[in-house]
Chain A
Amino acid sequence: MTGMDNALATVTVRVNRFTPRPERERAARGGSPFAKARRGGSPFGGGSASSRNRRPRGKHWTQDYTLTVRPEDTVLDCLLTIKRTLDPTLAFRYSCGHGMCGSDAVAINGTPTLLCTAGVKDWAKRPNQFAQTDAEGFRHTGDDATDEAASGETPADGGAANDLGVIELSPLPGFPVQRDLIADIDPMLDQIRKLKPYLQADGVLATTAEGKVDVFEYLQNPEQLTKYEMLSNCIACGVCEGSCPVFAGGDAFIGPAALIAASRFVNDSRDTALDTRLDAIDTADGVAACQSVRACSRHCPRGIDVGEEMWQIVAKVRER
């Protein structure tokens, strides 16, 4: 039993939370004739509905939860424990819990990645008083490891030896927050949809040796499959988009996820729409906007070297 106790440790999960303004307050505003007029059509553009959705008002704050965990637990395990035992109001998307569904992309310590593939021991950082927000809500920045003040401030009380430190969570960068760790990733899905992400094949049915029509699969040898198989593993989680400094903050650049989706079909030997696909991304907000920063490659949960694939598709467009 004591052997088990040694494996346990404490960790503080620091969540940047957000609650949208409750509906009834909006409804109360809707009662004003001015508010109604504004809702009907803003003079500053037709997208009043979408811009309202994308910039919800509400309350932002930071909340710490301290739990007992095993170092091998995932950050998702921690959040589920919080929901069950500490705070059922904490909102975050999750579903399969093992990196296949793509629901749970967030920023952990500022880095976009999936909650369910992130291990506590890999992400927890020793407490650092300068990493915490002060009374005004500002946070000092600096290197944890070399900061003398930080180690000096480490609490000397009992659990310190088993204290793994802090994991800080925020919603996926580059997308509007909807509540707590839930971000609105519809802009990404819209961009993927815009590039016709479906096979456009010739539709020709194969014929048998005697010339009879037979419904066969399209033939594709393993080498042809290899050209796009990795790309087809994309789960549209948005980690690459959240990491991309060009994508962040605006929706002009079509983004790495949509380009990966396009590239998947460009490289599929069955697809017949190569030229129109390349045309569609050969724009200022398409491949031309990629600055080859390659931050998109770092945490792809499917192991796609997104930056390299961007480079390849840019080259394909240029070489036409």
Chain B
Amino acid sequence: MSPKQLEDMYDAVIVGAGAAGLSAALGALRSPAIEEMRASGIEPRILVISKLQPLRSHTGSAEGGIAASLGNVEHDDWHWHYFDTVKGGDWLVDQDAAKLLAEYAPQTVINLERQGVAFSRTADGHIAQRRFGGHTADFGGQPVRRAAYAADRIGHQILHTLWQQCVAAGVTFAEEWYVTDLVLDGSDDGGAHVAGVVAYDTHSGEVHAVHARNVLLATGGAGRLFHTTSNSWDLTGDGMALALAAGMQLEDIEFVQFHPTGLAHTGILLSEAARAEGGVLRNASGEAFMERYAPEHRDLAARDVVSRSIMAEIDAGRGVADPKDPQGPKDCVWLDLTGIDRDHMEAVLPQVVETIREYAGIDPATDWVPVKPTAHYTMGGIPIDTDGEAYRWTADVDGVDGRTIVDGLFAAGECSCVSVHGANRLGGNSLLDACLFGTRAGTRMAERIAEAPAADPTNDDVADAATEVDSLDTASTLRKRELNELLTAAKPADDDSAAENDAYGATADGSAADDNPYRLLADLGRVMEQALAVRCSAQTIEAARRTLHDDLMPRAVALHAHSDVAAFNQEVTAIWEARHLVMLADAMLDATDARHESRGSLMRLDYPARDDRRFLAHSMTALASPAAQHTDDERLHDVRWQPVHIVDFPPKDREY
């Protein structure tokens, strides 16, 4: 679906159509501000641009649940959820944001139910809830059933329901369009505002300048930075890279959560629900080793704790090989589900069972399943406040907040960082973050829209049109030129062989001339996996940076398409994605390098302890201006440190 024609000016463009993007669209359209505007006869002009048809979004793969202290199964209290979120994030959580998350979680979940989500139910018809790692009663006490679920398909249910509601609300989509540029106007040091985005329609192969007063980025995470990931092929960090390229900072991007139970080398996720229902991790000798690492919560300790425990077992030589690759490295452990009754397993873990049967060829009711930590979630992202507005941070001076909002720029979901996840996200909090802060961002955006709607006939656009059109149109022209270069490079000498280019395979010898973005992505994944997966050190970071600068970055620049037909030319999109990922990888390495401590998901072998004195702070990483770039080393980024908002819970040791 594509818009019949583009408006000259949009009130808002939302980039991405997963839980966060769709929640933002609905949040805006249902807000009192927009209702009032419509009552006076002015329709909002909102466009959702997405590189996938919305139902293909990765939200649909979330399995386990969405956390909320509904207390439907046992007594619960949102203050406990608030505490668990802060503790889970190893105190690198902005507590004002986490408080909102926990307090409004029940409302968010109930609203999802009332829109149609087919939640699993208790016998008396309420939303059913299950245990999830790190969620406790009484501020760190016994595990509590807090995750509302829909069998093990909660993400699918939420994604489809939100899309259905967008159909009801008549939301306009530009599907399978890829945003290549975020364009901001005004000074970097304040007064910056959104001009719009440049978008590439993959169907027609055309580049469009899309003018907008507000832009919300909701493009999801960047799991494809790593070789083994649970993320779909489309999680290429686009929104974060767009923001970085536009001169924004990224917050806390050194924190990447590795889900402990990826299905061996496939990276496909086996939901935490498998352990919640009684699954046990075992090493090569069959020992249930989590008892040693987290005596109280054992297999349901926070994800980073479990991932590190698995790695420790593997390092100690107690790992097992993926049975599909028996001669390969012993980099897996067992997940033992045989203690769960077969019928019960089929009823509550259908997706887990199906995945294991289909992709490992194992019957989990009788055999142990090989698992390995898999890159799962990027905690950091585009810095936003609790209304979803993106900001730049300089320095807090004399108690004055150093945040400067970029007018009209919003973000939500995994690509953003309101900092509710801190250094490590709790299970069930990602869908909650996307839906809750997505809705809040939409509501705030609606207030801005109502102040000066694009469709208001009395609204004089000429003044800002004269200045804004320039920079966006310039960016669009540059992008069109680049597209032409990418395509003309593909033009073969013999026109007839353009399509049936059998020779490509024959001449593919790994030389730069025959490079392609898919190969580059695979190489990048291996480099990042070695450098940062679960553990790292200055040494691994430096080695990766060198490969990135000497090999991958020049290759990314040199990429070109191998077909000169623009329509549905997936390689063109893949080239831009690869460039986004390479850019983001470099920023992630620099942010990781700058943090000399271990916290949450970040384990630095050379700095194994948490250091609250120096690093109870968010890293704010931006491309350094050329003048300010370090001359003595290769780092291209400038990292600043923004203090964490501590409200109710002073930092403590994080023990499970």
Give A contacts to B, CB under 8 Å.
Answer: 1, 3-4, 17, 19-20, 22-23, 56, 59, 61, 63, 65, 70, 72, 80, 83-89, 91, 93-103, 117, 178-180, 182, 185-186, 189, 193, 196-199, 201, 215-222, 224-225, 228-229, 232-233, 235-236, 268, 270
Contacts and interface: CB of A to CB of B under 8 A. Distances in A.
Given A22-B565, A217-B119, A217-B126, 12 more contacts: A80-B518, A85-B505, A86-B508, A88-B516, A98-B355, A98-B359, A99-B354, A198-B168, A199-B164, A201-B114, A215-B107, A233-B153
Contacts of A196: 167-168
A99 B327 CA distance: 29
Interface string B83-118: 000000000000000000000000101100111101
Interface string B557-589: 000011111111111001000000000000000
Of A63, A96, A201, most buried by chain B (CB within 10 Å of CB) is A96
A102 B55 contact: yes
B52 A4 contact: no
A101 B163 CA distance: 14
Nearest to B55: A236
Of A1, A72, A178, A232, most buried by chain B (CB within 10 Å of CB) is A232
Contacts of A228: 118
Interface in B110-163: 110, 113-116, 118-121, 123-127, 151, 153, 156-157, 160-161
B110 A215 contact: yes
The 9 closest A-B pairs by CB, nearest first: A199-B116, A219-B125, A179-B568, A198-B164, A88-B516, A86-B505, A217-B113, A89-B563, A84-B518
B477 interface: no
A198 B110 contact: no
A88 B571 contact: yes
A103 B430 CA distance: 23
A100 B325 CA distance: 26
Given A23-B204, A88-B516, A117-B358, A221 B567 contact: no
B125 A103 contact: no
Interface string B154-181: 0011001100110110000000000000
Of B125, B126, B151, B326, most buried by chain A (CB within 10 Å of CB) is B125
Contact of B232 (A101, A218, A232, A233): A101
B151 A229 contact: yes
A178 B203 CA distance: 8
Contacts of B123: 221-222
Interface in B528-579: 561-571, 574
Contacts of B565: 19-20, 22-23, 179
Contacts of A61: 499-500
A224 B574 CA distance: 45
27 contacts: A1-B327, A19-B498, A23-B205, A61-B500, A72-B324, A86-B505, A87-B505, A87-B562, A91-B570, A96-B58, A96-B60, A100-B156, A101-B52, A101-B56, A178-B568, A185-B53, A197-B167, A198-B161, A198-B168, A199-B161, A215-B110, A217-B113, A220-B121, A222-B123, A232-B160, A268-B118, A270-B116
A39 to B, nearest CB: 14
A70 B326 CA distance: 13
A221 B160 CA distance: 21
A232 B156 CA distance: 9
Given A61-B500, A88-B518, A95 B56 contact: yes
B268 interface: yes
A198 B167 contact: yes
B109 to A, nearest CB: 8
Of A186, A201, A222, most buried by chain B (CB within 10 Å of CB) is A222
A84 B324 contact: no
Contact of A22 (B125, B233, B566): B566
A85 B507 CA distance: 10
A197 B165 CA distance: 8
B1 interface: yes
B165 A198 contact: yes
A49 B501 CA distance: 31
Nearest to A194: B167
Given A23-B204, A89-B562, A232-B160, A221 B325 contact: no
A224 B267 CA distance: 35
Contacts of A65: 505
B86 to A, nearest CB: 26
B519 interface: yes
Contact of A235 (B116, B156, B354, B355): B156
Contacts of B120: 222, 225
Nearest to B52: A95
A96 B568 contact: no
Contact of B326 (A3, A182, A185, A193): A3
B338 interface: no
Contacts of A19: 498-499, 563, 565
A216 B164 CA distance: 21
A103 B52 contact: yes
B501 A89 contact: yes
B204 to A, nearest CB: 7
Contacts of B232: 95-97, 101
B174 to A, nearest CB: 13
A202 B260 CA distance: 43
B61 interface: yes
A217 B115 CA distance: 10
Contacts of A83: 516, 518
Contacts of B205: 23
B344 to A, nearest CB: 14
A215 B55 CA distance: 29
Contacts of A229: 118, 151
Contacts of A70: 324
A85 B515 CA distance: 9
B118 A225 contact: yes
A308 to B, nearest CB: 19
Contacts of B60: 96, 100-101, 235
A234 to B, nearest CB: 8
Contacts of B153: 233
A317 B421 CA distance: 49
Of B55, B118, B268, most buried by chain A (CB within 10 Å of CB) is B118
B465 interface: no
Nearest to B263: A98
A92 B127 CA distance: 39
B638 interface: no
Contacts of B562: 87-89
A187 to B, nearest CB: 11
B481 to A, nearest CB: 15
Contacts of B570: 91
A236 B163 CA distance: 12
B575 to A, nearest CB: 9
Interface string B186-207: 0000000000000000011100
Interface in B340-376: 351, 354-355, 358-359, 361
B382 to A, nearest CB: 23
A85 B508 contact: yes
Nearest to B155: A100
A217 B124 contact: no
B464 interface: no
Contacts of B165: 198
Interface in B47-99: 52-53, 55-58, 60-61
Contacts of B57: 101
Contact of B55 (A98, A218, A233, A235): A235
B615 to A, nearest CB: 35
